[in-house]
Amino acid sequence: MQTNHFRSGSKPHGSSSGASRFGGPRHASSHRPSTGRSFGGGGYKGGGHRSSRPAPSRGRRNNSMGSYIDPSRFINKVTVTEEVAVFVPEHQFTDFQIDERLKKAIVTKGYKNPSPIQDKTIPHILKGADLVGIANTGTGKTAAFLIPLIQKVLKDPKENILVIVPTRELAIQIDAELKTFVRGMSIFSVCCVGGMSIGRQISALKYRNNFVIGTPGRLKDLIDRKMINPVNFKSLVLDEADRMLDMGFVNEMRSIMSMMPKDRHTLFFSATLSTEIERLIGEFLKAPVRISVKTSETSKNVEQDVVKVIPGKNKLDMLHDLLNQKDFSRVLIFGRTKHGVEKLSQTLLAKGFKAESIHGNKNHSKRQSALRLFKEGNVQILVATDVAARGLDIADVSHVINYELPATYEDYVHRIGRTGRGSKKGKALTFLD
């Protein structure tokens, strides 16, 4: 296999209903009193891609589905030319004014020092300030808002917190992270997403939930059904706000926020700041503190390169040669279409690889099963579309392979952000025909 270089220009845990009692499944016979139709959240059926709006053009298109991307932007060879300064946090987790139970949970999770986004944002959130956080994916922003908001609930068990995210996978991921922090604290949540029974979600909403984690489409549906009263939520998190805009959720976001109390605590996390993002910030946040720990468009932990398909050489054979290399231990491969992703997954299985796929044609349980097998190391390869893979947090992905080009450079940045997360290193390869 020859690699050619371009010159570089520079169900939730515990319940099938989506609701959780931490430490065990929720049952109808639970001793927790019903509060009636009060709280809920969710996502658009099928994972949440609601918009057919084309990606903004950036020049000559490189394929029928997206805009031209200069191949040099797929290359970032990591070379050590100088000693890189090690981040030294201003705070330790023990310094934060939080409950001892929460401090113990942080230790149990294995967190040692706050990441930059955690170090900079947690003190402001604890003080109740509105906040705009700009950070790359994989920097620990989920814990950056969960830790201080859990503290808020511990101080006032009547506190209701709404977390809005773009996809079902991200909603489930945040809910799972929440559970690991609050075991034994009598803090409850509901996670309602498209592709799961709305009837079960409605049943779960009859119980008391401190956290509601959902996506805009299902949230709006449940509001319309009078199952959610936005007035009851005085704390709001908008996570991956730029992705929600890209997916066409801006109307739902505006509608939900407009129904919430004016005097609320709003946290806004995004990887980019567009004109539309700035407009939303101006509309719905009050003198927010702005924290940016984003140093570049792509993580410095990800080595990026291209694989130029050699004339006369079969592209699939070149992929086969790559996947047989020893260090390709946990590989996420991106394709463009649902049909193409499924076909590639089946082809790799036929060639003897352990592979799974996630895409919009798979139902929720099958997607979660595929993710679980990949996370647990039972399969080497996960083949995915962009929509299905948004929001995934999978540890120790060794390589991301762009078998087909992304529609936009923003999609590319999101794809390769699945590797090299936190302080770990990763590699990204992009096939060029």
- Whether 108 and 34 map to the same domain: the answer is yes
At 121 the pLDDT is 96
At 70 the pLDDT is 80
Measured between alpha carbons, how far is 103 from 106 in angstroms, rounded to an integer?
5
User: What confidence category does residue 87 fall into, taking pLDDT thresholds of 50, 70 and 90?
Assistant: low
Mind listing the pLDDT tens digit for each residue in 150-164? 999 999 999 999 999
Last residue of a domain, one of 292, 320, 336: 292
Query: For residue 166, is it within any domain?
Result: yes
Query: For residue 356, is it within any domain?
Result: yes
Beta bridge partners of 76: 304
Measured between alpha carbons, how far is 120 from 125 in angstroms, rounded to an integer?
10
Domain of 332, in residue numbers: 297-432
- Cβ partners under 8 Å of residue 305, min gap 6: 3, 5, 74, 75, 77, 427, 428, 429, 430
Last residue of a domain, one of 292, 326, 355: 292
At 39 the pLDDT is 39
The structural domain count of the chain equals 2
Nearest one of 401, 392, 395, 403 to 420, comparing CA atoms: 395
The pLDDT of residue 138 is above 90: no
- Whether 350 and 412 map to the same domain: the answer is yes
Mind listing the pLDDT tens digit for each residue in 266-296? 999 988 888 888 998 999 999 999 999 875 5
Q: Are 307 and 429 in contact (CB under 8 A)?
A: yes
User: What confidence category does residue 389 fall into, taking pLDDT thresholds of 50, 70 and 90?
Assistant: low
Beta bridge partners of 188: 21
The pLDDT of residue 131 is above 70: yes
Query: For residue 63, is it within any domain?
Result: no
The pLDDT of residue 117 is above 90: yes
Here the CATH number for the domain that contains residue 132 is 3.40.50.300
Beta bridge partners of 400: 332, 428
Query: For residue 66, is it within any domain?
Result: no
Last residue of a domain, one of 251, 270, 292: 292
Mind listing the pLDDT tens digit for each residue in 303-359? 999 999 988 889 999 999 999 999 999 999 999 999 999 999 999 999 999 999 999
Query: For residue 4, is it within any domain?
Result: no
Query: For residue 142, is it within any domain?
Result: yes
Mind listing the pLDDT tens digit for each residue in 250-263? 999 999 999 999 99
Helix ranges restricted to H, 80-231: 100-108, 116-126, 141-155, 168-182, 198-204, 216-224
Q: Are 403 and 344 in contact (CB under 8 A)?
A: yes
Query: For residue 69, is it within any domain?
Result: no
On average, the pLDDT of the chain sits at 81
Q: How large is the average pLDDT for residues 105-128?
A: 94
Query: For residue 81, is it within any domain?
Result: no
Q: How large is the average pLDDT for residues 168-180?
A: 92
Q: Are 421 and 395 in contact (CB under 8 A)?
A: yes
Nearest one of 73, 138, 56 to 407, comparing CA atoms: 56
User: What confidence category does residue 169 fall into, taking pLDDT thresholds of 50, 70 and 90?
Assistant: confident
